[in-house]
Structure 1
Amino acid sequence: MSLNGPLRCETARDLPPALRGGVVAIGNFDGVHRGHQAVIGHARDIATREGRPLVCLTFEPHPRTVFRPDQPVARLTPAPIKAQLLGALGCDAVVEQNFTRSFAAASADSFVTDSLVDALGAAHVVVGYDFHYGTRRSGTAQTLRDAGAAHGFGVSVVDAFDDEGGALVSSSRIRSDIEAGDMAGANALLGYRFMVAGEIVHGRKLGRTLGYPTANMTLPDDTILMHGIYAVALRRPGGGAPLPGVASFGRRPTFDDGAPLFETFLFDFSDQLYGEHVSVSIFARLRGELQFDGVEALVRQMDQDSLEARAVLDAATPLSPLDALMSFGGGN
């Protein structure tokens, strides 16, 4: 596994000729959870065995958002994070196919001939058990097998992936866990620590006056992360070991009750991060956001939060080789 990002293409026809003729894994892959990883892993095994490139075909924006713009899907992994995860899993390129109503209206046969055969030159296609394609979702796993036989590419369909309790691993379950503040449950389904990302921006610098200078970033408006205090590890661009810390996400009710901000205090760190695009792995939710009577009470609680976050991070072990790479800075 490597953190070197894959090539990202906006459409299938943007794929360079050198990457044509590969194994193509298809799906939305929102969250890149353990079920998605099973699909990617199956495709990676075929690509390795046959000496072919591995290409992931995804869709941006999420198709459900296109059809229900009044009810957009809250993304677990925005496109840059998703591409990073897919690259870490071995994908050489990620095609972020622009999903529009006109694209969705194309027939199932057109999707096969235009995208898979003509644009990607697919030698083998791997999909999940519930994959549909083409207008009105008329294409199924069986029609894809038939198309592969007609056009000369192999097709593999990966079964549903259940957790240790026998329940289906799904993006909707993970969203529900995160919305409820159950980071342990969400991370277990993801197979790695849930991540947020963004640019470090200037804040009011209140943390400095309290002895807790923070690196601040604004999360998307549709974020599903609960307000509260979290044990985290921040990864800077360009590599290096993730930096441990404690983060607050919320409106700062003790001070201004302002717009939500994700503020990370890094342990034993004094560098400037302004302008850097960072990612933050969330290990645990420690507590909810509280309003304190004064600064002294707030600082006492922050001291306690820091001790608890250190204990959580010191005891943490990787959930998977992917988690070892993304959250701990080392792969297997």
Structure 2
Amino acid sequence: MTSVWSDPAGLPIGDSGAVITVGTFDGVHRGHHDVLARLVALAAETDRPSLVVTFEPHPLEVVRPSAAPPLLTLHVEKLEMFAQCGVAYVAVLPFTPTLALYEAEQFVDAVLLERFRVAELLVGHDHGFGRGRLGDIDVLKALGASRGFGVTVLPPVHDADGRAISSTAIRTAILLGDLQTAAAGLGRPYSLAGTVIRGDQRGRLIGYPTLNLQPPPTRKLLPPDGVYAVRVQTPQGPFGGMLNLGPRPTFGDASRRIETHVFDATHDWYGAPIRLDLIARLRDTRSFTGIDALRAQLVLDEAAARDTLQRLATAASAGPLS
């Protein structure tokens, strides 16, 4: 079980030190999973605890807010994924203007050594740290040699086209509505999570009742408005569904909503936590001439969503060698 510590001084790390990796880990994508798997393995080999040191908020929100990217994973989502990777501890450092001014040597001495007793450090090939990210891999290796801790630099993980997997590339795919490419980089479907709230129940009147999800924090990246095939993860298990993300122009409603019609389920989920796994984008949002035209389109959307979910489920069960 992963333990999350907001007071890093209280981490139960013995004299032998810890095996550590450091980063923002937005998305916790396949490249990050490779780092975390190697972290856990090295910790087991050396009989030391594994520790992820991460930051909240994203450093760019402090250093250069105008350049801060929208987030693939909110803080709580990121912690859940760390737990699934089997790391022993996660230390969350508040990223403050003071921390942003730490030189590379100061960060290593005051944070990694004094507070966390680093014995082995694993980092990605493009890791940068300290003020202005001037602490590159060469600086880190030199500091490790002089301070007595090991530094392992891990190569990138590549996609099927040979490109290095990165949070930036995944964000670009999501912004284009290319959920298959995003899922390939993440190692899972991109998702939205929240609590079910009451809507205006218009969907019931046309035969397509919906779950209305509380809007996520504004820092969470949303794909383009449109209709999507989704898997709905509920307290009663997973269901297929179709999501309308965006306005409802047929009803003159310009507000951006997250409304999902769940297939083959009638449970009352008001107030329940729900996660939407976005599988495929089906079409743009558009206005219809009336309720009958909208209902006719929803029939087509449902058929397309069911077909997409079934086809992808069949392909996944067949395995990579089919």
TM-score by length of 1: 0.86
Cα separation, 1, equivalents of 2:81 and 2:118: 22
Aligned residues: 314
Matched, 1:283 2:300: no
Matched, 1:203 2:199: yes
Q: 1:9 aligns with which of 5, 10, 14?
A: 5
Choose between structure 1 and 2: higher strand proportion.
2
Cα separation, 2, equivalents of 1:93 and 1:206: 46
Instruction: Look up the equivalent residue of 2:223 and give its one-letter code.
Output: L
Question: Match for residue 135 of structure 2?
Answer: 139
Question: Match for residue 37 of structure 2?
Answer: 41
Instruction: Look up the equivalent residue of 1:230 and give its one-letter code.
Output: Y
Cα separation, 2, equivalents of 1:287 and 1:15: 49
Give the 3 Å change call, closer, same or farther, for CA 51–195 of structure 1 in structure 2.
farther
Question: Match for residue 223 of structure 2?
Answer: 225
Cα separation, 2, equivalents of 1:19 and 1:252: 60
Cα separation, 2, equivalents of 1:51 and 1:213: 54
Cα deviation for residue 107 of structure 1 reads 2.1
Matched, 1:212 2:208: yes
Counterpart mapping for 1:149-164 below 5 A? 149-164=145-160
Cα separation, 2, equivalents of 1:18 and 1:227: 51
Counterpart mapping for 1:175-194 below 5 A? 175-194=171-190
My pick for the range that moved more, 152-161 or 172-181, is: 152-161
Cα deviation for residue 73 of structure 1 reads 1.5
Give the 3 Å change call, closer, same or farther, for CA 19–216 of structure 1 in structure 2.
farther
Cα separation, 1, equivalents of 2:47 and 2:267: 44
- Which whole-Å deviations, capped at 9, do the CAs of 1:294-317 have from their partners, x for residues lacking one? 111111211221222122222224
Cα separation, 2, equivalents of 1:11 and 1:19: 19
Cα separation, 1, equivalents of 2:233 and 2:50: 26
Cα deviation for residue 287 of structure 1 reads 1.0
Cα separation, 2, equivalents of 1:68 and 1:14: 31
Cα separation, 2, equivalents of 1:73 and 1:307: 35
Give the 3 Å change call, closer, same or farther, for CA 267–183 of structure 1 in structure 2.
same
- Which whole-Å deviations, capped at 9, do the CAs of 1:95-141 have from their partners, x for residues lacking one? 22211121011122221122212222223211111111112222222
Residue aligned with 2:83, SS: helix
Q: Which runs of 5+ in 2 are unaligned?
A: 317-322
Cα deviation for residue 277 of structure 1 reads 2.6
Percent pairwise identity = 35
The answer to whether the 8 A contact 1:199-1:278 is kept is yes
- Which whole-Å deviations, capped at 9, do the CAs of 1:23-48 have from their partners, x for residues lacking one? 21211111112222221122122123
Give the 3 Å change call, closer, same or farther, for CA 11–254 of structure 1 in structure 2.
farther
Cα deviation for residue 18 of structure 1 reads 7.8
Cα separation, 2, equivalents of 1:196 and 1:319: 24
- Which whole-Å deviations, capped at 9, do the CAs of 1:265-314 have from their partners, x for residues lacking one? 11121222222232221111111111111111111211221222122222
The answer to whether the 8 A contact 2:13-2:117 is kept is no
Q: Which runs of 5+ in 1 are unaligned?
A: 321-332
Question: Match for residue 168 of structure 2?
Answer: 172
TM-score by length of 2: 0.89
Cα deviation for residue 252 of structure 1 reads 0.9
The answer to whether the 8 A contact 1:195-1:280 is kept is yes
Answer with 1 or 2: which has the greater Rg. 2
Cα separation, 1, equivalents of 2:97 and 2:300: 51
The answer to whether the 8 A contact 1:12-1:115 is kept is no
